[in-house]
Structure 1
Amino acid sequence: MKTLTKEMQAAIQPSMALDILKEGNKRFMNNLKANRNLLQQANETSDGQHPFAVILSCIDSRTSAELIFDQGLGDVFSVRIAGNIINEDILGSMEFGCKVAGSKIIVVLGHTKCGAVKGACDHVEMGNLTALLSKIQPAVYDEKSVLENRNSGNDDFVEKVAVINVKRTVHAIMERSPILKEMIQAGTIGIVGGTHNITTGEVQFYDDTLIINNID
């Protein structure tokens, strides 16, 4: 697997970027890995990097974007925070990754059995975690279908909240970053949300979050 160059990155369209991630996830699920020399990639990216994707995921130890999408050094910008939420710093990082460094797609990646989502479902308050979980709370309130046992003990409720949280984050990125919104609308980059199943390894992307405008 070749190290990404600026020319290779420029040739990747947002739809191609999504396909690369889907193919990588299939390899991960089948316990296969693309043949790559990581030490060589470290050397070849020492003077510059040209990742094709920005992936916002949770800090959960089981959800490393590089592993579940089978990517190497220099391939993706990995932004990780509990509950895959956004703030100004994360938005700024995404703007750098896309506007400055040339990435072609933003992925908001939640996962099953998320501890941060469970904490939000239980309305946990603890130190600085309180403010972080408050950013997930709107997803808890938006989930209307579960009427009883609206807490972390209800797996169905937790997973529904997690999906809503991903979709809200995709919307919030568009809403809070004029730079990224303009790039998405122009077809320069794409955006999509998805969930990583920590049991099977599969990433499910949500069509109702996918925005890829083809450049003619």
Structure 2
Amino acid sequence: MRTHSKETQSSLTPDLALEILKEGNERFVNNLKANRNLLQQVNETSAGQFPFATILSCMDSRTSAELIFDQGLGDIFSIRIAGNVLNEDILGSMEFATKVVGTKIVIVLGHTKCGAIVGACNNVKMGNLTGLLEKVMPAIESEKITEENRNGSNPSFVNNVTKLNVQLTIERIRNESQIVSELEQQKNIKIIGAVYDVDNGKVDFFD
């Protein structure tokens, strides 16, 4: 499988970009890999890069976007931070990726059993981590289903907060980045939420 060029990147639609990621995750789940020469991709990307996707995911060691979507060098802008939370720097990175470089899709990828989500649900306070976990609070406050055991020991509550955190992050991207929002409105990109299951490797894409 060859590295994306400017021509192949430009020819992709947002829908096709999503399909490529879905097919890649299907290969990953079935323990298959596309045939790639990574050293060749190093050479092919030495003069420039033309990734087709921008993925905001957690720093969790089990959630490498390139691996779980079976992509190669030069295919993905991977933005990783605990709890896949959003800040100004990440928004700026997304604007660069979509407007300047031309990626066709933005994925906000949460995952099951996320330590940052569990920590936020338990109201953990620890140094600079405190401010990061506070960014998950809107998702916790938005979870209205769980009436008891609203903490990190309740898997159902944690899962609900994980999904809401993804959804609210997407809302923030649209509200806080005019550049990315306009690209979506013009149908030049898609913004999609998803959750990766650390038990089976499958990515559940939101509608």
State the TM bucket, normalised to the shorter chain: over 0.9
Counterpart secondary structure, 1:92? helix
Counterpart secondary structure, 1:103? coil
Letter in 2 for 1:169: T
Whether 1:24 and 2:8 are equivalent positions in the alignment is: no
Alpha-carbon distance between aligned partners in 1 of 2:189 and 2:148, rounded to the nearest angstrom: 41
Cα offset for 1:140?
0.6
Taking structure 1 as the reference length, what is the TM-score of the superposition?
A: 0.95
Whether 1:203 and 2:206 are equivalent positions in the alignment is: no
Letter in 2 for 1:184: E
Equivalence for 1:213: none
Letter in 2 for 1:196: Y
Equivalence for 1:170: 170
Equivalence for 2:89: 89
Equivalence for 2:52: 52
Alpha-carbon distance between aligned partners in 1 of 2:109 and 2:124, rounded to the nearest angstrom: 23
Counterpart secondary structure, 1:109? strand
Letter in 2 for 1:110: G
Alpha-carbon distance between aligned partners in 1 of 2:112 and 2:53, rounded to the nearest angstrom: 22
Equivalence for 1:99: 99
Cα offset for 1:45?
0.2
What aligned pairs does 1:1-216 form with structure 2 within 5 A after superposition? 1-207=1-207
Cα offset for 1:187?
0.6
Cα offset for 1:60?
0.2
Letter in 2 for 1:66: E
Taking structure 2 as the reference length, what is the TM-score of the superposition?
A: 0.99
Alpha-carbon distance between aligned partners in 2 of 1:198 and 1:88, rounded to the nearest angstrom: 28
Which 4+ residue blocks in structure 1 deviate beyond 4 angstroms? none
> Deviation per CA, 1:138-195, whole angstroms, max 9, x where unpaired?
1011101111111111111101100000000011100000000000000111110000
Q: CA RMSD in A?
A: 0.4
Letter in 1 for 2:179: I
Equivalence for 1:211: none
Q: Which runs of 5+ in 1 are unaligned?
A: 208-216
Cα offset for 1:89?
0.3
Letter in 1 for 2:182: E
Cα offset for 1:128?
0.4
Letter in 1 for 2:98: C
